Amino acid sequence: MPTGMQFTRFVPEGTDVDDPASVAVANAGDLATAKSISARLSAVGVVPANRLRITCRAGTVTVSGLLDWQFQRQAVLDQIRRHSGTHHVIDEIEVRPLLDAALLMQRIDSATSTRAPGEIAVIAIDIDGARVTLRGRVASEALRSLAETTAWATPGVALVENRITIA
C-alpha cells in the first residue's frame, strides 16, 4: 500500500467491531479500487502524504481531507473520475484557508505592475473563508485575467469571483 493515503475498512452491519477477527472488508473489490486510486494519486505526485482519506463502496468513491491548493483538489478529483470502476465521486476535500489579504493584494499588484507597467489597475479584494472576490477597474482584458490567475495561484483559494471591469 503506498504511503500517504489512508483506507477505510467497511464493516458489515451486525459485526462486533471490538472483535478484530470479525472485522472484514465488505468487498475486496472496493479495497482494490481504493489502493489503485492511491497508487494513481501517488504517481501524479500533487498530493502531500497523509492528507487524503479514500473510501470505496460499490463504485462510489468518497475522498476527504485537507489540501493547500485548489489545483491539488482538482487533480485528485480528475484522477479519481478517470479511474475504471468509479461510478460516482463524493468530494469532501477542503482547501486549507490560508488566505492573507495583504499577501494576495501584494501578489496581484506585483503581477500587474510587472506585466503591464503604466497601465491603470485599481483592484479591491474581498475574502470570505477560501472565497475571493475581485472588484475594480483595469485597463485591459489581459490585466483582468492576470489578476484572476494570480488569485487562483494563492494558497488557500478555493473560489475566485472576478467582477473586475475594463475601463
Task: Report how far residue 112's alpha carbon sits from residue 114's, in angstroms, rounded to the nearest whole number.
Answer: 6
User: How much is the pTM?
Assistant: 0.50
Q: Which helix (H) or strand (E) holds 104?
A: helix 101-115
- pLDDT at 164 (0 to 100): 93
Cell numbers 494570480 correspond to what residue? 150
Question: How much is the pLDDT for 98?
Answer: 63
Q: What is the mean pLDDT of residues 54-70?
A: 85
Whether 5-95 shares its CATH topology with 101-166 is answered yes
Element (H, E) at 39: helix 28-44
CATH 3.90.1280.20 fits 5-95, yes or no: no
Q: Where are the domains of the chain?
A: 5-95, 101-166
The class of domain 101-166 in CATH terms is: alpha beta
- DSSP H helices, 87-138, are 101-115
